[in-house]
Structure 1
Amino acid sequence: MNEFLTRKTWRYIDQSVSGIGRSPLESFAADDTLCHLIGAGLSPATVRTWVHSASVVMGIQDHRLPFVQAGMDLLEERGYHPIVRNSGGLAVVLDEGILNISIVVSEKDGHLDINAGYDMMVELVKALFPEIAERIEAYEIVGSYCPGSYDLSVDGKKFAGIAQRRIRGGIAVQIYLSVEGSGGARAELVRDFYERSLQQEPTKFDYPNVRPEVMASLSEIIGEPLSVPGVNARLQQFLYAHSEEMRMGPFVEDEMEQYTYYLTRVFERNKKLLLES
């Protein structure tokens, strides 16, 4: 087992239900807060789960699309709320069938370079899904939305993407797991967003040519109905098995000051970017 996944103490924050009606920006602020706290030695390493209702999180490059406002209007028409995150990467879909997991550790824990951070998350996913573990591969799935070298797939169908954020001595490795529903339908939404936002206008940046057939949910891949609560339960069982102590609960009063700071910052940044669209 990966050394970074076995710990004396894991902290676990479950926002897979409480966060559904909240903005995804609150999750980005939460992970930044955890990076700050854990980097400063004020909190143990933490796993946080989060789910949000229908949203499309755009990256900085998406914000620069020539007709991005038309693309965002399309998302609103389809019932999805567009937001912009202050980081790299490209558009991803969030909804109640997608479970997001953040693992936040300290840079002081040991040498965890970029690839090692990704490998840690890959090993966790394989542990959570032993029925397909040997079939899970990590490489870029061309035609997927938000493609990256650590896309997770089975038989060429992507079900997850991994990202990292490193600030204040903390490292947050984040993954979205398409658990329920249609991966292809989500991909169609992002494909249509790019088509509306580009309108065949040439750009310096190469945006993905999204092909819905290369994306699927874990339920579709495994051939059995999985649920977000069920996968979350698997994760909790894993953490109990790989720690001596698991601390559960949201931010406490002393931590809320930092959270409020990061929350204000991320909302102000998103508002500024949207006004520039």
Structure 2
Amino acid sequence: MKSWVENVTIKKYEDRSGLTGLKQGPLVWTEVFLREVNRQSNTGILHFWPMDQTVILGMMDSQVAQLDKGLASIGQAGYSPIIRSLGGLAVVADDGILNVTLILPNPSGHKVDLRESYQVMVDLIAQALSDFPFEIVSGEVATSYCPGTYDLSIKGRKFAGLAQRIYQEAIAISAYISVSGNQVKRGQVVADFYAASFAPQEVSDRFPQVNPNSMANLSDLVGQALTVEDMKTRIERVLIENGASLSTFYPSSDNMTDFMTLGKTIKQSMEKYGI
């Protein structure tokens, strides 16, 4: 990780999506920040983005057989659905989940090695939790929601998942981290979405058979009450320890223009699915 962040000025932006009136605002900011980092050499952006009671669907999820029934299931559970272009399958966001995206310039100037860029976030989270005597394992937890090669787990139970997106010479590496709250319930919401989206004989092996007990929150796994704010502080500390300098990001007029343009496009794409 150090080779990616050392001597890089990382600007922090804490999303307040209510300011834009766009529920998919955090996803739009990811696209804006990719373009900003692509324009600015030796500058990165650390984006913390809280969301209230939301199921963030992947593009693959939009292909389920009965999307309308799946969306209704999400609503009945008290969540709102949105669809993202980053990552493949459904994840849950609420006030106990830390969503974080680190947008960095390509440090090599060559084609990005996806394994190396994923490892940046793996190392960042592992170092942020290094004071706990538990091994953090990177590897797929197949019965979790949004399973992937870079799932992070403790004692066999997943607490975080990673995704990334590349725009020219900028790389966005994202993580959702279950810090506190009822993780089993979150898993059940996603399991119910897939159950409602397919007739029993139609279930596709492209989608996970979600076992809500395959995941847990960090507070339960480490035996200490942690908060989203705690994790933010830990992540910032690790970046500084690895040679980055942190400052605050203030969106420019160009950024806001990008936000409005990209936001309109993303909003229109979701309206196709009735969201």
Fold in common (TM above 0.5) = yes
Q: 3-state SS of the aligned residue for 2:202?
A: coil
Task: Give the aligned partner of residue 179 of structure 2.
Answer: 179
Measure how far apart 1:4 and its partner are.
0.9
Q: Is the contact made by 1:59 and 1:89 (CA closer than 8 Å) also made in structure 2?
A: yes
| Gaps in structure 2 of 5+ consecutive residues | none
| Alpha-carbon separation, structure 2, partners of 1:246 and 1:8 | 9
| Alpha-carbon separation, structure 1, partners of 2:69 and 2:92 | 18
Task: Give the aligned partner of residue 107 of structure 1.
Answer: 106
CA shift in 2, pair 1:245/1:88, >3 Å: closer
Measure how far apart 1:236 and its partner are.
2.5
| Alpha-carbon separation, structure 2, partners of 1:218 and 1:98 | 10
Task: Give the aligned partner of residue 141 of structure 2.
Answer: 141
Task: Give the aligned partner of residue 124 of structure 2.
Answer: 124
CA shift in 2, pair 1:218/1:3, >3 Å: same
Q: 3-state SS of the aligned residue for 1:158?
A: strand
Q: 3-state SS of the aligned residue for 1:7?
A: coil
Q: Is the contact made by 1:179 and 1:219 (CA closer than 8 Å) also made in structure 2?
A: yes
Task: Give the aligned partner of residue 80 of structure 1.
Answer: 79
CA shift in 2, pair 1:30/1:163, >3 Å: same
Q: Is the contact made by 2:6 and 2:244 (CA closer than 8 Å) also made in structure 1?
A: no
| Alpha-carbon separation, structure 2, partners of 1:240 and 1:221 | 26
Q: Is the contact made by 2:159 and 2:178 (CA closer than 8 Å) also made in structure 1?
A: yes
| Alpha-carbon separation, structure 2, partners of 1:131 and 1:92 | 27
Measure how far apart 1:141 and its partner are.
0.3
Task: Give the aligned partner of residue 70 of structure 1.
Answer: 69
| Alpha-carbon separation, structure 2, partners of 1:233 and 1:20 | 23
CA shift in 2, pair 1:196/1:56, >3 Å: same
Task: Give the aligned partner of residue 9 of structure 1.
Answer: 9
Deviating more after overlay: 128-137 vs 19-28: 19-28
Q: 3-state SS of the aligned residue for 1:104?
A: strand
| Alpha-carbon separation, structure 1, partners of 2:133 and 2:31 | 30
Q: Is 2:248 the counterpart of 1:248?
A: yes
| Alpha-carbon separation, structure 1, partners of 2:244 and 2:50 | 27
CA shift in 2, pair 1:14/1:184, >3 Å: same
Q: 3-state SS of the aligned residue for 1:45?
A: strand
| Alpha-carbon separation, structure 2, partners of 1:88 and 1:50 | 16
Measure how far apart 1:266 and its partner are.
1.3
Identity, in percent, stands at 28
1:27-85 Cα offsets, whole Å, 9 max, x none, are: 11111111111112278111111110001111122111112211111111111001122
Aligned length: 273
Measure how far apart 1:86 and its partner are.
3.0
Q: Is 2:155 the counterpart of 1:155?
A: yes
Deviating more after overlay: 218-227 vs 103-112: 103-112
Measure how far apart 1:19 and its partner are.
3.6
1:76-130 Cα offsets, whole Å, 9 max, x none, are: 1111001122355111101111001111112355454110011000000011111
The one-letter code of the counterpart of 2:93 is L
Q: Is 2:210 the counterpart of 1:210?
A: yes
CA shift in 2, pair 1:19/1:236, >3 Å: farther
Q: 3-state SS of the aligned residue for 1:66?
A: coil
What's the TM-score, normalizing by structure 2?
0.91
| Alpha-carbon separation, structure 2, partners of 1:244 and 1:43 | 10
Deviating more after overlay: 195-204 vs 73-82: 195-204
1:220-276 Cα offsets, whole Å, 9 max, x none, are: 10111100111112222233434463220331223211222222221111112337x
**Counterparts of residues 196-207 of structure 1 (less than 5 Å):** 196-203=196-203, 205-207=205-207
